[in-house]
Structures are given as structure tokens and as C-alpha cells.
Amino acid sequence: MISYYFWIIVFSVVAYLIVTDKSVAALFYYATKLAKAYLERQWWWLLHNPANPVVKYIMWRRSIRMAEEMMKSIKTDENRDKTVS
């Protein structure tokens, strides 16, 4: 119960400072933008890190699919060249 009062007091003081001082409001605004950018960077790294096994599988699967498409394209080009000659 005491921790609730502590957090209410902390947020009240911060809200008071934000309302009364423009520089504190700017600091709060830029600090939240910085925190959001940091969290987005961490999320992106989690989703695209090659050490992640799920990401490794997705990259492997995409590479296999691309290689199969390239092989089909090469084979059709070879067949087309044979029929033209």
C-alpha cells in the first residue's frame, strides 16, 4: 500500500514539473522518443538477428525458394535457347 502512495507522489511531482517548466516537458518528450527508438532497435534486432534459430530457418527457406526459382528460370532459358537454334 505504501508503494502506491510513493508512485502517486513521484508521478505527481513529474506531472507538476512538466506542466510548469517547458524544458522539463521537452526533456520528457525527447526521453520517451529515445526510449521508443531503443525498444524498436531491440525488437528489430530480435527479429533479424542471424543467431536466432527461427530467423536462420526463415533465411534458409527464403534462400532455397529463391534458388529453386532461379533454377527454373535457367532451365527454361536453356530450353528456349535449344528450340531457337
What's the grid cell of residue 59?
533465411
Tell me the pTM. 0.56
Domain ranges of the chain: 1-35, 49-85
Residue 82 pLDDT more than 80? no
What is the C-alpha separation between 74 and 11, in angstroms, rounded? 65
Q: 55 near 48, Cβ under 8 Å?
A: yes
Q: 16 near 9, Cβ under 8 Å?
A: no
What is the C-alpha separation between 47 and 22, in angstroms, rounded? 37
Residue-level pLDDT at 84: 59
What is the C-alpha separation between 84 and 24, in angstroms, rounded? 75
43-64, pLDDT tens digit by residue? Answer: 999 888 889 898 999 999 999 9
